[in-house]
Structures are given as C-alpha cells and as structure tokens.
Amino acid sequence: HKAIMSIYPLKWDFLKQFHRISPIPAFTRTNEIEQKYMKYKNSRGQQIVDDLMRNFDIGSHYLLCSSWFQLIPSQFPYNLSSEIDHWILWFNPNYKNLYCNYDDIEDIIQYYFDNYEPLSRYRDYIYFENSIQNQSIKNIRHIHVFFH
C-alpha cells in the first residue's frame, strides 16, 4: 500500500481533518521507528497478538483496559509533531459480536479523556480506523487515537 511520506512530522492542523476518516494513503513513521517496528514484527510474529490477548486477560490490572478493549500508547507512533501523542484503542477479537461504531468509540475515548488524569493535559483528540489495505495487524480491530 502507498503511504503519505514526509520527512516532516504531521501537524495537528493537518491531522485533524482525518477525524473519523481513514487516511488514504496511510501515514508513515520515521525511518527509525519504522525499522524498529519491522524488526519487532519480523521477530515476534504471532506473539504480538498473543501479547495483546494477554493484556485482555489481565485487564483489571490496566486502568485503560477492560475485557473488551484497551487504550494504550502506540509503541510505534506515526511521524507526528511533538505536541501530538499517538495511542491505539484495541478491541478484543474474542468478542466478535461486539460491534462498536464511531459513536460508541467516541464514548469510550471521551470517557477516558474526561476521567483519566494523565490524559487531562491534552486539549483535544481525533481518531480513525485505517482502511483494511492500510492495516498492518488485520486480525485485531484497532483505532488510532491522537491526543493534542
């Protein structure tokens, strides 16, 4: 898949146009982050999914995790300006009948935005789900969340 390549970090004014809209082409990471990500994917393979599933199993130990979803900082964020933080909202694939539309997702993110103290430093957020052709992990639904 093609990607929006830029040597410059994405700025909030550009990024916010993608609220609830899948960017096509996809965004990219810095070369350094992309190399770390590819090394992680190639060396761990299925273990990435296993690690996420283990977090669902022990969700009560994570403030931003339930048995249905987890909201965590991205280990491999896109190339963003320094005032933007990239998080991922992962959905537990064992709940195949649980469908969350964008309004449900908004409720989940807004709840944590309003009630989770470490997120209180941000003024705003946007989120989107990559189109299937731009998803690098296709077997676990996930939403990209950006706090500003």
Please tell me the pTM assigned to this model. 0.85
Beta strands in 1-148 (DSSP E): 3-4, 26-27, 69-73, 85-91, 125-128, 142-147
Quote the DSSP letter at residue 87: E
Span 55-113, pLDDT tens digits: 666 544 444 556 678 888 998 999 999 999 999 998 887 776 667 888 989 998 998 88
Least confident of 26-30, 61-65, 121-125, 131-135: 61-65
pLDDT at 1: 44
Average pLDDT of the chain, as a whole number? 83
Question: Hunting for tokens 């990500």 — which residue is that?
Answer: 37
pLDDT at 44: 72
Handedness of CA 26, 90, 98, 107 (dihedral sign): negative
Assess contact for 12 and 148: CB atoms under 8 A.
yes
Q: Which of 68, 76, 49, 69 is nearest to 137 (CA)?
A: 49
